[in-house]
Amino acid sequence: MANVRVERTEDGGFRATNARGAEVRIGGAEDGVFTPVELLLAAVGGCNIVTVEPLTAKRGHRLVRLAMTVQAEKVEPSKLGPVTVTYDVELPSEDAGEVFRAVAERVHEKYCTVSRSLQEGTEVRLEVPESD
């Protein structure tokens, strides 16, 4: 089960933490923090890239450079349009390109939990404590 805690900090900002002690600052458009939408895009990119890299290397093609840009525009005030993942790679050889493309497509279609959850419309449930 995945689990994070999001809470307001003493300085009025917000932070998300996990059980392993990692944290990320969350806020609006101010410097030094991620917006919630940026975190969603980072999750899509992170899920893809941390899966693509070892699978490509396992097939004998350690990529010289592996990065990506993930972007989306709001189509309504509180709704994103399509999310686009654009890889930026430097291949060690020509035949590595074929392997990389096959792995990246397979990861996108079958193995990235975040992308698949967005595409399939995972339900989000709300639990609000009852008043006393």
For 43-54, how does the pLDDT look when each residue is reduced to its tens digit (9 = 90+)? Answer: 999 999 999 999
Residue 77 has a pLDDT of 92
Q: Mean per-residue pLDDT for 85-114?
A: 93
The answer to whether 61 and 96 are in contact (CB under 8 A) is yes
Q: Mean per-residue pLDDT for 57-66?
A: 92
Mean pLDDT of the chain: 93
Q: Mean per-residue pLDDT for 34-40?
A: 95
Which candidate, 44, 19, 12, places its Cα nearest to that of 4? 19
Q: What's 35-120's CATH class?
A: alpha beta
Q: Using the predicted structure, report yes or no on whether residue 106 has a pLDDT greater than 90.
A: yes
Residue 43 has a pLDDT of 97
Residue 121 tokens, joined: 């419309």
Q: Provide the residue type at 111 as one letter.
A: Y
Residue 69: strand, helix, or coil: strand
65 DSSP β-pair partners = 90
User: What is the β-pairing status of strands 74-76 and 65-71?
Assistant: unpaired
Q: Where are the domains of the chain?
A: 1-34, 35-120
Query: What's this model's pTM, rounded to 2 decimal places?
Result: 0.89
Residue 2 has a pLDDT of 86
Which candidate, 112, 131, 122, places its Cα nearest to that of 51? 112
